[in-house]
Amino acid sequence: MSDLDAFSNQAGAPAQLGEVPPDAVIAIDGPAGSGKSSTARALAKQFGLLYVDTGAMYRALTWAALGAGLEPGEEARIASLLAGARLELRPGEDEARVFWDGRDVSAAIRTPAVEAAVSHVSAHAEVRREMVERQRALARRAGVVMEGRDIGSAVFPLATAKLYLDATVEARVERRVRQHRLRGHAVDPAAVAADLAERDRLDSARRQSPLTISPDAAVLETSAWQLPEQIERAAAAVAAIVAQQTPPPALPDQPRLCARRRVVYAVFGVLARFYGLREQDRRQLDLPGGVIVAPMHLSYWDAPLVGATLRRPALHTLAKAELFRLPPMRAVLRTLDAVPIRRSGFDAGAFHVACEHLAAGRDILIFPEGTRRPPGRPGPVRSGLGLLMQRSLAPAVPVFVRGTRGLQPGGSSDSPLEVRFAPAVRLRALPALRARHDERQISARIGALFEAIYGELQARSFAQNPQTAWEIADRERAAVSCARREARVFGSRAPA
């Protein structure tokens, strides 16, 4: 089978695979010509999920904008064109069929004219906001395989599995030229190469959700593969990620809780219930030791409540050094083998101890935001978390915390007390990221991913229990003291 046939063909023989949950979200990102569409379509068929080509959504809007005589830079008018339009994707024989206000535009969106303008149209913040809303709405109706540029990094930071497909420019040009010829468009390979290079530049350099490798994505370099092999490998990568996320029926050889931890956890567990803690699905923490626990930070109650919820046999909190000066606090911290950390600058000693604990299979609790933040506004995440993940290679569990600033016996009507755990984040993309960026830059990407995850966990919490007037007022109160504290601890510079 030629490359051409391979890339225009459907799934081929389905591989034998493990189950993927029916509400799974499989995110597939990568540059133009990396084979995303063919792969995503085949995986959707194989796993019984809905296939969504988000590039086709941006292309349809571009087609409509050009048809309406708009320039690609006219953000407000293009955004209002989209706001008033019905945009549908329906499964087709080969590619998905795209309808703009009921009109089939599937062929029209693949022309060189649309191709030349689509990166400009898709760079507008207002356009992306509306598109992301529509993409998330699709996944509320069914499990999806969704392909694009920002699916794993921005649209679904908590996707069940993320793939990033890459290929050399030469391989991508060859595929694009064949696709165009197959559709009957005469193209000049040099022009296609120039267009791809320009689209890569625009897609990667734009301010709004640029094309980026999500640190937890499995990266597949596809240049040398024919389509059937690409699909098989992509499906195997998804199956492996899903299997890794499925908690084992029993954890091997978990050490028992020592007596002092049992006492401390019991005390805080009782307190948590007294204050009406609702904990959500702590099975995410059914992992062997050596995990980074990474909660949002609102108040001093966060660490004990998260710790008591987890009941891990060896959890070491990185706590600011100042706390060890207060005698009662020091006693509790010592009992729990907390590690003092100096927050201004980089505390190499604390960092080293944390890495040693992780290497020995003990857990570390770190607050990635570095200090208590106003509720309802997660982030910014500082560089410490990303550095710790890169050097220890330990998985990190993002934890959403709500209500620890408004505790009331029996549960607060001002601010519900909640702890929610996300599945562990693993740095699957680290080798690919290291080939492109330095350690600090990778930390920034890890930080951005955690900010997006906290935002998503918060959105889920607010969808179940809407934010209260007390919480909104408290956010403003806390913002003032937080700004002062951040200036004192980290200096007035924007956080790294």
| 3 state DSSP class of 101 | coil
Between 153 and 415, whose beta carbon lies closer to ligand DC? Answer: 153
Between 207 and 493, whose beta carbon lies closer to ligand DC? Answer: 207
Rg (CA), the chain: 24
CA–CA gap between residue 326 and residue 275 (Å, rounded): 25
CA–CA gap between residue 423 and residue 440 (Å, rounded): 24
Between 203 and 216, whose beta carbon lies closer to ligand DC? Answer: 203
CA–CA gap between residue 414 and residue 160 (Å, rounded): 33
Least distance (Å) between residue 483 CB and ligand DC: 34
Between 178 and 199, whose beta carbon lies closer to ligand DC? Answer: 199
Least distance (Å) between residue 459 CB and ligand DC: 19
| 3 state DSSP class of 363 | strand
Between 212 and 309, whose beta carbon lies closer to ligand DC? Answer: 212
CA–CA gap between residue 52 and residue 289 (Å, rounded): 38
Between 189-205 and 112-121, two packed helices, what is the crossing angle to 10 degrees?
10
AA identity, residue 68: A
Least distance (Å) between residue 448 CB and ligand DC: 16
| 3 state DSSP class of 52 | strand
- Pick the closest to residue 432 from 233, 219, 223 (CA basis): 219
The first and second tokens of residue 481, run together, are 């003291």
Between 199 and 316, whose beta carbon lies closer to ligand DC? Answer: 199
Least distance (Å) between residue 53 CB and ligand DC: 7
Helix (H) or strand (E) holding 429: none
Helix (H) or strand (E) holding 77: helix 75-83
- Contact of 47 with 20, CB cutoff 8 Å: yes
CA–CA gap between residue 332 and residue 399 (Å, rounded): 22
Between 208 and 299, whose beta carbon lies closer to ligand DC? Answer: 208
271: CB partners within 8 A, 6+ apart: 304, 305, 308
Least distance (Å) between residue 64 CB and ligand DC: 14
User: What does the chain come to in residues?
Assistant: 496
- Binding stretches for ligand DC (CB under 6 A): 32, 54-55, 58-59, 118-119, 122, 148-151, 199, 203
Least distance (Å) between residue 380 CB and ligand DC: 24
Between 118 and 218, whose beta carbon lies closer to ligand DC? Answer: 118
